[in-house]
Structure 1
Amino acid sequence: MVIRVLPARKGGIYTNSGSSQALINYLEHEAKEEVDPKRSIFFDQKREGIASHEVQEHIDTNVKGLRKNKPHFHSVVISPSRAELRHLEGDEEKLKSYTRQVMDNYAQNFKNRHQGKVEGKDVVWYATLHKDRQYSGLDEEVQTGQAQPKQKKQGEQTHIHVVVSARDQTMSRSLHPDSGSRQFNYNAWLTKSKKDFEQSFGYRPVITEAQQKQRLEKQVNRLERGGLLLDREQMHDIGRNQKYSPDFWKRMNEVERGAKKGDVFTPRQAYERLIENPEPKERKDKGAKKPDILPSKVESVKYKSKSVNSDTESITGKRQDKKLEVHHLAEKGEQKIDKHTDASSDQKFRPVRIDITPLIGALRFESVPNTGGHATGKDDDFRRRARRRR
């Protein structure tokens, strides 16, 4: 299942900064080639068989509060895989009901602290179902010469196009899926929509090794077109050894991005990045208690204690020498003793008393600084302070 918001390009069909007329006409034209030309092919949350002019009018008028150069609508495509389409047995009603689930999830993933939650009924959207696809110049088959542009693709190609307004029904809130994770959780939307498909239709995805090889071949072809030539057999061996795990595909994407930036320009660098194993993170047990002192710090603590002991021994030695000197002077009758000498270990420290009466007087109302005089009372003090504030 592939669900994505199509990028808007200037001058293209999906340009969304103005009217939706070009996009609606294109979607209607592609759908009417497959069904009755007189049949209305659009549907929304509740209705079916909606005419194209009604779709265009509603999308183009639901723009109050939007700037001219800002997107007025967005284009969403829902593309089930061939296995998923076979599982549905080509039932269009199931695809329409699933489209409504996807758009409900789309609405619920918008977040705003100051505004309430968005529900499916608050979003303005219209969808149509296409059964065919054509090759474009960006497809790998066209670039390798296997197909021509605008040539129809073979096999099951059913998909759904959705045109969704950038404002809600009341035109009081903007809904932009490309506004960042704080406003719209893109990954949560995709994950929830895929799970809904599996739960609603009882589908269990099974990815075979042939599909993994095909995916790897496409990525290797893109790297070769970029100038990085890789050994296909070795790449398949690396993929099989890692069981085509999500980490393997993540490293493959990193190699592809590095090749575009110029960080990876040799096959050896690519192989090393794919084979390297990340260091396992240490698991933290909740019940385990941390040691008070780390083993590496024990030696430093012991060393510090030894130095402290040696310092205390030297200090006590000096004090004993000073005591002997004081006794010797006392015997000679000399009364002058240095203030800093500790004459006796039992001598108590006598604190010095400081008179803070002037400080208290300065803090009272009798003394008001910056007023040009002294207050004679509380009323006078209040007037002087009010004059100073002016």
Structure 2
Amino acid sequence: MYISITAQKLGGDYSQSSTDFVEYLEKENQSLEQESQEHFFNQYGDEIEAKDVVKEIDDNTAKLKKKEPKFYSITVSPSQFELRKLQNNSEDLKKYTRAIMNDYATSFNRDINGKPITVDDIKYFAKIEHQRTFKGTDKQVRENQPFATKILQLKQDIRKIENGQLEGDIKKLKFQISKLEAEAPHQQNGKRIVQGMKKEGNQSHIHIIVSRKDTFNSVSLSPGSKHKASEVVMHGKLVKRGFDRDSFFTKAESTFDKTFGYKRNYAESYKSKKDFIKNPKLYFTTLLGLPASEKAIAFKMLAKSGVPIASIPTNQVQLALKTIRYLKRGVEVAIKSGSIGI
């Protein structure tokens, strides 16, 4: 499971309104027939129109300063292993969204009118998407780039020959292009992976837009708060404050497992990420100590994420700091992937 929480961008791509972001989330529907389109939904409603989402979010910004985020974006990306447990991607992911928004609400260490925050206090809208495309920052695109550059140059040479600006053998240049296409290290369905190409397999994921203010437009609820769950005395009163991201991520993972009967492997758990960051040696020790069947699955998940499995220590003696440092970069990439991290 990979979950990210991002504040609204102020300036640049996004304006003070949520319009641009909502239109971005509508992009997938543009290429689909009406019956195949996914619509916005929230805790209690389905098929909410984009214009209504914009109005609800934009009108719910009382007393927020110009440079303060008006909303937050939560992206929830189950791994391929997790998606296989779903019977119906869209309906199951809607069910899961509504469940984790309860977890989101209870991760705020705040009271409203003397009562703990519940999902009824959260104004949000969500949308399921089923496609992803390769970005220019993806490893596959970056490592294919030298081939792409050479192919582009050859194609330009062919055009110059055709226009009489250059002499050369077009047939020979086309052969070189075909050879480079085949030699590119990252392929999908026999084709060189390029930016904008749709990723194969089940790519279902969830986008959630959450208002900064509560449903009554009276209290600011920021999941990006610098304050962890704590209490402070202000004006002589004890005030609760903060959002516990660690709690939210842990609950979201547990909610998925309980909802869909998913048996989570250590390598894909939130705990493993924390172990790796705080104590890499403990991470590898725990990995090696798993029962044989679970360890085999863990190594499969790591390999799928690009970790050099052959270099992972096989016994306690090999758990040297030098080996851990060598592996750290590979595991960091895997932990950020949708397979094994939040």
TM-score range, shorter chain: 0.5 to 0.7
1:10 CA drift (Å): 5.2
Q: Which runs of 4+ in 1 moved over 2 A?
A: 6-13, 31-35, 37-40, 112-116, 205-208, 213-217, 235-245, 251-257
Look up the match of 1:159.
205
How far apart are the structure 1 equivalents of 2:317 and 2:6? Answer: 32
The answer to whether 1:208 aligns with 2:280 is: no
How far apart are the structure 1 equivalents of 2:88 and 2:66? Answer: 41
Deviations 1:76-96 (A, max 9, x none): 111111121111133421110
RMSD, matched Cα: 3.2
Look up the match of 2:277.
none
Residues 254 and 11 (structure 1 numbering): CA distance in 2 closer, same or farther, change over 3 Å?
A: farther
CA contact (8 A) 1:6 1:76 kept: yes
Residues 210 and 175 (structure 1 numbering): CA distance in 2 closer, same or farther, change over 3 Å?
A: same
How far apart are the structure 1 equivalents of 2:250 and 2:9? Answer: 27
1:256 CA drift (Å): 4.5
How far apart are the structure 2 equivalents of 1:201 and 1:243? Answer: 39
1:112 CA drift (Å): 3.2
The answer to whether 1:236 aligns with 2:310 is: yes
Aligned pairs (5 A) from 1:346-357: none
Look up the match of 2:245.
186
CA contact (8 A) 1:5 1:75 kept: yes
1:161 CA drift (Å): 0.5
One-letter amino acid of the structure 1 residue matched with residue 255 of structure 2: D
Residues 11 and 68 (structure 1 numbering): CA distance in 2 closer, same or farther, change over 3 Å?
A: closer
**1:92 aligned to 76, 90, 93, which one?**
90
Look up the match of 2:177.
none
3-state SS of 2:128 partner: strand
1:243 CA drift (Å): 12
How far apart are the structure 2 equivalents of 1:244 and 1:203? Answer: 33
**2:104 aligned to 103, 106, 118, which one?**
106
Residues 211 and 19 (structure 1 numbering): CA distance in 2 closer, same or farther, change over 3 Å?
A: same
Residues 243 and 150 (structure 1 numbering): CA distance in 2 closer, same or farther, change over 3 Å?
A: farther
Look up the match of 2:256.
197
One-letter amino acid of the structure 1 residue matched with residue 253 of structure 2: K
How far apart are the structure 2 equivalents of 1:196 and 1:83? Answer: 16
Q: Give the TM-score taking structure 1 as reference length.
A: 0.55
3-state SS of 2:305 partner: helix
3-state SS of 1:213 partner: helix
CA contact (8 A) 2:8 2:71 kept: no
1:211 CA drift (Å): 1.9
Give the greater-gyration-radius structure (CA): 1
Look up the match of 1:172.
218
Look up the match of 2:5.
5
Count of residue pairs the alignment pairs up: 237
Residues 60 and 243 (structure 1 numbering): CA distance in 2 closer, same or farther, change over 3 Å?
A: farther
Residues 90 and 129 (structure 1 numbering): CA distance in 2 closer, same or farther, change over 3 Å?
A: same
Q: Give the TM-score taking structure 2 as reference length.
A: 0.62
3-state SS of 1:167 partner: strand
The answer to whether 1:143 aligns with 2:189 is: no
1:239 CA drift (Å): 4.0
Residues 256 and 161 (structure 1 numbering): CA distance in 2 closer, same or farther, change over 3 Å?
A: same
Between the two structures, name the one with larger relative contact order (CA 8 Å, sep ≥ 6): 2
**1:19 aligned to 17, 20, 23, which one?**
17
1:176 CA drift (Å): 1.1
How far apart are the structure 1 equivalents of 2:131 and 2:318? Answer: 31
The answer to whether 1:43 aligns with 2:41 is: yes
1:160 CA drift (Å): 0.8
1:205 CA drift (Å): 2.4
CA contact (8 A) 2:127 2:206 kept: yes
Moved more, 27-36 or 92-101: 27-36
CA contact (8 A) 2:29 2:37 kept: no
1:119 CA drift (Å): 0.5
How far apart are the structure 2 equivalents of 1:27 and 1:128? Answer: 8
How far apart are the structure 2 equivalents of 1:204 and 1:244? Answer: 29
Residues 176 and 211 (structure 1 numbering): CA distance in 2 closer, same or farther, change over 3 Å?
A: same
Deviations 1:54-108 (A, max 9, x none): 0000000000021111000001111111121111133421110110111111111
Residues 252 and 72 (structure 1 numbering): CA distance in 2 closer, same or farther, change over 3 Å?
A: farther
1:135 CA drift (Å): 1.0
CA contact (8 A) 1:40 1:51 kept: no
One-letter amino acid of the structure 2 residue matched with residue 118 of structure 1: I
Residues 67 and 83 (structure 1 numbering): CA distance in 2 closer, same or farther, change over 3 Å?
A: same
Residues 203 and 152 (structure 1 numbering): CA distance in 2 closer, same or farther, change over 3 Å?
A: same
